[in-house]
A and B are shown apart, each in its own frame.
Chain A
Amino acid sequence: EAQLVESGGAVVQPGGSLRLSCAASGFAFDEYTMQWVRQTPEKRLEWVSLISWDAANTNYVDSVRGRFTISRDNVKNSLFLQMDSLTTEDTALYYCARVGNFGHYFDLWGRGTLVTVSS
């Protein structure tokens, strides 16, 4: 069964850093574009970042560009999100998601990992 499991969420002070991980299993991870999506405390969903199957292409929402870095390890079937210069606006539940076969919708989601930025 295809599965994504996120980890690394924590409570961090403004200006701090955090690294999220996502472990994939049950499918050919190295064939898929992967993304991070976050859900705010108000339950709004926001796309954060994507990375192509070979890591050749990455993209970010404007609010995190320059502060967050997405990466992947296709040998270890893992996706990462390095988050620097965190602000309270980054507080959210972060989901790892797989891109579908016919477009950039998300056909598989993890259960999420919670990031809280607070002093």
Chain B
Amino acid sequence: EIVLTQSPGTLSLSPGERATLSCRASQTVSSNYLAWYQQTPGQAPRLLIYGATFRATGIPDRFSGSGSGTDFTLTISRLEPEDFAVYYCQQYGRSFTFGPGTRVDIK
């Protein structure tokens, strides 16, 4: 099983700041089959990024994904109030596993 580790566990930032979230895999994620999701309280996860770098339909361009192999990053260029949430990475190269999440809090 590919285990995903996300860091940091919590990120405390102010609106307008840049957020950098990390997702590390225990093995190479084939074909960069790595997705990112955002979850706000009481809501289902929402797809942000798939294939490590491709924004899903309707996702603002302040969200970007990068990385390959075992190290992936989600960057939010300028935090908006609605971006304070929990973010999960997921690999779908070999079965399907999720990371434990990174919470982005208002500082």
Main secondary structure of the interface of A (DSSP, over half): strand
Given A104-B92, A109-B44, A109-B45, also A45-B98 (CB < 8 A): yes
Interface residues of A in 67-116 (CB under 8 A from B): 95, 100, 102-112
- B86 — which chain A residues lie within 8 A by C-beta? 43
Query: Smallest CB-CB separation from B88: which chain A residue?
Result: A45
A106 pairs with B47, CB closer than 8 A: yes
Query: Smallest CB-CB separation from A100: which chain B residue?
Result: B50
Query: Smallest CB-CB separation from B32: which chain A residue?
Result: A103
A102 pairs with B50, CB closer than 8 A: yes
B22 at the interface (CB under 8 A from A): no
In the assembly, what is the distance between CA of A112 and CA of B41, in Å?
A: 13
A44 pairs with B100, CB closer than 8 A: yes
Contact of B47 among A44, A45, A105 (CB under 8 A): A105
Give the shortest distance, in Å, between B59 (CB) and chain A (any CB): 11
In the assembly, what is the distance between CA of A103 and CA of B95, in Å?
A: 11
Give the shortest distance, in Å, between A22 (CB) and chain B (any CB): 12
Binding site for B on A (CB under 8 A): 35, 43-47, 61, 95, 100, 102-112
- 12 more contacts with CB within 8 A, not counting A45-B88, A102-B50, are A43-B101, A44-B100, A47-B95, A95-B44, A103-B50, A103-B51, A104-B33, A105-B35, A106-B35, A109-B45, A111-B44, A112-B44
* Interface core residue of B33, B46, B51, B92 (most chain A CB under 10 Å): B92
B45 pairs with A105, CB closer than 8 A: no
Give the shortest distance, in Å, between A109 (CB) and chain B (any CB): 4
In the assembly, what is the distance between CA of A45 and CA of B6, in Å?
A: 13
A105 pairs with B50, CB closer than 8 A: yes
- B35 — which chain A residues lie within 8 A by C-beta? 105-106
